[in-house]
Amino acid sequence: MIAAHICSGCAVRDRALCASLDDVELDTLNALGQRRRLTRGQTLVWAGEESLVCANLLSGVLKLSAVTPDGREQVVGLLYPADFVGRPWAELADFTVTALGDVELCVFPRKPFERVLEDHVRMERLLLQRTLAALEEARGRMLALARLSAREKLAGFLLDMADRVQGCRATASGPVTFDFPLTRGEMAEVLGLTIETVSRQLSRLKAEGAINLMGARGITIRDRALLEAA
């Protein structure tokens, strides 16, 4: 019951892929796994390098990014607690995985993890369902990147963040206040913009009364409807 003990305090025990395993099966997986911490800016995987690991994200936020040969960068996905990291059966890593803040992971060597996956149909099915969901999300993001204006991208992004990173709010429908887990530069990478454009659009939304900015990190959504209109 050692594994059950290790995992019993796990914040994502019943939300990550592990949710498909019983305590005994969890033992097998745990024999392979290893906790790991990353601090802001540290990279777990480099695009193009050999793909050695898969992982479950326990806490914090990771970014998945792609780079053109000449150095232009684009964040192609954000990973939140309970999300799965890595690509089983791929020899090379597709994208670079970097911590946006302090991060805790449950890391598994890829090959043995593949074997566990192959032996546990329910886990494999859960991964399939999540991958299908991730694919839908990525495709939705394609629409946003290609067809929305900078203003629309920002508004959508702020609403998304507000739902995910729940901060304090006075009343249920009232203004929400929280801290960005991303810098302006990282937001620009996510939205396919430049840092200056992000800053300008935020200033504009502030001037219009839709949001309020406190310092570089703090933000309050003052008028949700106004954001949704964009």
Partner DNA sequence: CGAGAAGTTGATGTGAGTCAAAACGAGTGG
Partner DNA sequence: CCACTCGTTTTGACTCACATCAACTTCTCG
Q: Give the span between the Cα atoms of 100 and 112, in whole angstroms.
A: 28
Question: Is 213 near DNA (CB under 7 A)?
Answer: yes
Q: Which is nearer to its own copies, 44 or 219 (CB)?
A: 44
- Residue 124 CB partners (closer than 8 Å, separation 6+): 117, 118
Question: Is 194 near DNA (CB under 7 A)?
Answer: yes
Q: Which does 196 bind (CB under 5 to 8 A by kind): DNA, its own copies, none?
A: DNA
Q: Which does 197 bind (CB under 5 to 8 A by kind): DNA, its own copies, none?
A: DNA
Binding segment for DNA (CB under 7 A), chosen from 2-10, 73-81, 112-120, 191-199, is 191-199
Question: Is 224 near DNA (CB under 7 A)?
Answer: no
- In angstroms, the Cα distances linking 48 to 61, 93, 163 are 22, 5, 33
Question: Is 102 near DNA (CB under 7 A)?
Answer: no
Q: Which does 38 bind (CB under 5 to 8 A by kind): DNA, its own copies, none?
A: none
For residue 156, how far is the Cα from the chain centroid? 16
Q: Which does 216 bind (CB under 5 to 8 A by kind): its own copies, DNA, none?
A: DNA
Among 202, 205, 211, 230, binds DNA (CB under 7 A): 202
- With contacts defined by CB under 7 A, how many residues of the chain interact with DNA? 21
Residue at 152: amino acid letter: E
Q: Which does 151 bind (CB under 5 to 8 A by kind): its own copies, DNA, none?
A: DNA
Site string for DNA, 137-176 (x = CB under 7 A): ------------xxx-------------------------
Q: Which does 89 bind (CB under 5 to 8 A by kind): DNA, its own copies, none?
A: its own copies
- In angstroms, the Cα distances linking 128 to 124, 134, 209 are 6, 10, 42
Q: Which is nearer to DNA, 112 or 167 (CB)?
A: 167
Q: What are the residues binding its own copies (CB under 8 A)?
A: 64, 66-68, 72-74, 76-77, 87-90, 94-95, 118, 121, 124-125, 127-129, 131-132, 134-136, 138-143, 145-148, 192
Q: Which residues bind DNA (CB under 7 A)?
A: 149-151, 183-185, 192-200, 202-203, 213, 215-217
